[in-house]
Chains A and B, each alone.
Chain A
C-alpha cells in the first residue's frame, strides 16, 4: 500500500497542495496535518492538485471542505484541479461538485484564485498612488500633523554596560501608553523585579515582555480595562508621544521581503527626497508578515551586581554569549510580526535634539562609529492565529491581534529581520526628552 504523500508548494502567492495516494480516512488524516502547518498569515488562496488522487472517500471530502472553509475565512478561493474520473463521481454523488471550484489544470486553478487579489488593493491605488523603491512598493496615506516626541526614561548606555541598580527602577503603569519599548518586569515589588528585567514592548496599553527567568518565553499582559493591580518596573523606556504622520502600506516583490534596516533606510532617504520635516529620528510601528525574524533576548538581567568583570558592554564579542541569546537564523516565516522602535540617522545633523536625551536613547558602540549609517532599536511580537487582512488599518489590526491572536514570541529585533508586506505608522520625531 502506498502511503499518502503531500507536497506543499507556493505558486504566485497561492498554496498548492499535491496529495499523492488514496484520499481515504487514513490519507485524509495525513492531509489534515499538512494543511495545519501550510498556511502563512498572508495566504488566502489554495489549489489542490488532484491529478495523483485516484480514490476519494467521504473522509477526503471532509478534509477538502475544511480546507475550503479555512481559505474562505481568509477571504480567498480554493480550487480543485485535475480531478480524476472516480473521485469526480464521488464528488457528484455527494453533491460537492457544485460546492467546490473545479478546474482542469493547476494553471487554471491559479487563475481562479485570482493572484491579483494579493496585491495592494485597487481602491488604495486610486486614493494613494504608490511609490516604488527597488522591489518594494509603498502606498502613503497622510495622517496626524501634530508634534511627535520621544520620552526616554533611564539610559541605554547604563543598560548596555550592565550598571542597573535598584535606584534605576521606576514603577509605572502602561495601560495608557500606546507605543513604547524598553527594559522592565511585571512584579509585585522592585526587589523581585530586578533579577527578571527583560525586553518589553507596549502596544495599545498591552505589555509583552521577555522575563530573564531562564525560560526564554514571553509573558503577555493585556489591559483588563481598569487597573490590573500588578505594577510594571522599568529601568529603561522609550515612549512615543504624539501622532503618526503617515501610514504606509508596503509590499515586496521579492518573496524574501525587505530587511528592517532597509525599510528604515528607505524611509530616511524618502524623507530627504520629499523634504519632510525629519531631523534624523523616526519612530515606526510595523505590523506585517515576516519573511524571517531574527532576534535576540537578554539571558540575564543587566544588573550592576551581576556585572563583575565586564569591561565593555554586554554586546561586546567576549560578553554577548553570557548576556544575550541571539538567534540570527530567520524564523517564524509567514507569521505576523508587530514591532515598535526607533531609528536614528547617524549621517543627519541631529543638532536639534537635546544631546543628553539623545545619548540616553541611542548608544553607538565605539567600534561601529564611522561605519554605521543608522542606529536602530526595535522590539517585535510574533502573533499567531489571525490571518493577514490587507485591508485593515494598522491600529485596528494591532487591536485585533491583541484581542484574538496568540503571542508566540517576543524579541529585540535584529536589523536583518525581514518583512514580506506590512503597514507602517511613521512618526517624524522633533524632540527627545528625558523623563
Chain B
C-alpha cells in the first residue's frame, strides 16, 4: 500500500491529518498498538513542522504512508528551514516539576516508539522517515 497527501503545515489542521492517518493505517491493516504508536509519532512530527518549519510563512508538508508485510513507514517532507530533529539533545526525564522542560520531548517519544527514524536534507527539503515493524511479524 502506498498513499500520499499534502497538508498545510498548520496546527489547526492536526485533526485532518489525524483522520487521514487513522484511515490509512486501518487500510494498511495496522494493529492497535502500531496504529497508536505511528499516530503519536506522526502527531509529534506534524506539530513540530507546523510550529517551526515555516516560521511566519505558510508552507506544506507531504505525508507518505507505505506498508509491507513486515512494516509500516511514514515519510514527512517539508520545504522549511533546514532542521534535523535527531540533532536535539535527549531531554532529561528525571527532573522534578519545576525543572522539567518540554523541548525535545516530542522527538524523544518518536525515537522510543519507532524502530527506525532517519533524517535527510535533499533538494532543499527536510525528509524525515519513520518505520514501525508489525507486531505480528516480530519474533
Contacts and interface: CB of A to CB of B under 8 A. Distances in A.
Contacts of B71: none
A57 B108 contact: no
Contact of A95 (B44, B50, B93): B93
A26 B7 CA distance: 15
Interface string A130-157: 0000000000000000000000000000
Interface stretch (A86-94, A319-327, A421-429): A86-94
Contact of A65 (B19, B102, B113): B102
Contact of B47 (A3, A59, A61, A95): A59
Contacts, number: 69
Contacts of A68: 97
Nearest to B107: A58
A72 B98 CA distance: 9
A57 B40 contact: yes
Identify which of B11, B43, B51, B94 gathers the most chain A CB atoms within 10 Å of its CB. Answer: B43
Question: Secondary structure of the B side of the interface?
Answer: helix
B29 interface: no
A99 interface: yes
B109 A93 contact: yes
B56 interface: no
A55 to B, nearest CB: 7
A68 B102 CA distance: 13
B121 interface: no
Given A58-B102, A58-B109, A93-B109, A24 B18 contact: yes
Identify which of B39, B51, B102 gathers the most chain A CB atoms within 10 Å of its CB. Answer: B102
A29 B36 CA distance: 21
B98 A26 contact: no
Nearest to A21: B15
A94 B47 contact: no
Contact of B43 (A1, A24, A99): A24
Contacts of A393: none
Interface in A27-86: 29, 55, 57-59, 61-62, 65, 68-69, 72, 86
A61 to B, nearest CB: 7
A99 B100 contact: yes
A93 B47 CA distance: 19
Given A26-B11, A93-B108, 14 more contacts: A1-B18, A3-B15, A24-B14, A25-B47, A26-B14, A55-B39, A57-B44, A57-B106, A59-B106, A62-B105, A65-B100, A72-B97, A94-B108, A99-B97
* 3 closest cross-chain pairs (CB), A and B: A95-B93, A25-B47, A1-B15
26 contacts: A3-B15, A24-B14, A24-B18, A24-B47, A25-B11, A25-B43, A25-B46, A25-B47, A55-B36, A57-B47, A57-B106, A58-B47, A58-B109, A65-B102, A68-B97, A69-B98, A72-B97, A90-B40, A93-B113, A94-B105, A94-B108, A94-B109, A95-B93, A96-B93, A99-B96, A99-B97
